[in-house]
Chain A
Amino acid sequence: DAGVIQSPRHEVTEMGQEVTLRCKPISGHNSLFWYRQTMMRGLELLIYFNNNVPIDDSGMPEDRFSAKMPNASFSTLKIQPSEPRDSAVYFCASSLWGGGSNEQFFGPGTRLTVL
């Protein structure tokens, strides 16, 4: 099993540009989570999906952020327009929803730098 796959691993862009982060969850998992990690705020949940449906997007910081999950094997997190304060490591995680165990498997993350 390849685990959760994220791309790109590193992204450097300029303020105002659109950024799209991609995630492929583990096959068979039905829940997907997007997190953001910064030194100041730690690891924050942005949004999560269950069976491709967004359940809670209250962690999405602004309307500049949007996430989609068109099918069970792919999700995107888009920032438009990007700002320097969006610089962070963005993690995608997936799990098999059910019971209390809900172990989450994290991808390697995308390190985003907005200049």
Chain B
Amino acid sequence: DAKTTQPNSMESNEEEPVHLPCNHSTISGTDYIHWYRQLPSQGPEYVIHGLTSNVNNRMASLAIAEDRKSSTLILHRATLRDAAVYYCIRANSGNTPLVFGKGTRLSVIA
């Protein structure tokens, strides 16, 4: 049980921002929120993670709701290379393994 809910698919135009939502309404106080993505024919790769505060890195930004029941992965300018399946994952700080759900398949249109 992935314990997160994501839309099955989303579409974006190239060079436009993309907001990928994730619902994790039963999240516990010690659960981190992780985002991974899987490009075609590749293994998943880490994108970003956070606990309470919004986070930024070179790949994306993570906006976490104040009640932590939802979060949004933000790609500031989508490129064709961002077309992938994006997974939102809860992971306990007790170092439990990641449990992947179905994710959101992002299509980027040129």
Query: Do A and B bind?
Result: yes
B98 at the interface (CB under 8 A from A): yes
How many contacting A-B pairs (Cβ < 8 A)? 56
Which of A44, A45, A99, A105 sits near B46, CB closer than 8 Å? A105
Least CB distance from A74 to B in Å reads: 18
- Of listed A43, A48, A107, residue having the most chain B CB within 10 A: A43
Sort chain B's interface into a size bin: 20 to 34
Per a CB cutoff under 8 Å, which of B87, B99, B102, B103 touches A45?
B99
Q: Which of A42, A44, A45, A103 contacts B49 (CB 8 A)?
A: A103
CB neighbours (8 Å) of B91 from chain A are 100, 102
The residue that B98 contacts in the complex, of A56, A104, A109, with Cβ under 8 A, is A104
> What are the interface flags for B57-70 relative to A under an 8 Å C-beta threshold, 1 for contact and 0 otherwise?
00000000000000
B-side contacts of A93, CB under 8 Å: 43-44
Chain A hits for B102, CB < 8 A: 42
**Contact at B44–A100, with CB atoms within 8 Å?**
no
User: Residue-by-residue, is A41-71 near B (CB-CB < 8 Å gives 1, otherwise 0)?
Assistant: 0111100100000001000000000000000
CB distance from A104 to the nearest CB of B (A): 6
Please tell me if the beta carbons of B46 and A108 are within 8 angstroms of each other in the complex. no
**Size band of the A side of the interface?**
20 to 34
A106 touching B97, Cβ below 8 Å: no
**Which residues of B sit under 8 angstroms from A106, Cβ to Cβ?**
43-45
Whether A98 sits at the interface, judged by CB under 8 Å, is yes
Q: Tell me if B51 counts as interface (CB < 8 A to partner A).
A: yes
Which of A31, A43, A108 meets B100, CB within 8 Å? A43
- Contact partners of B30 in chain A: CB under 8 A: 100
- Residues of B close to A4: CB separation below 8 A: 43
**Cβ–Cβ contact A98 & B97, under 8 A:** no
B45 A99 Cβ-Cβ under 8 A? no
Residues of A within 8 A of B (CB): 4, 31, 33, 35, 42-45, 48, 56, 91, 93, 97-109
Interface of B with A (CB < 8 Å)? 30, 32, 34, 36, 38, 42-46, 49, 51, 87, 91-93, 95, 97-103
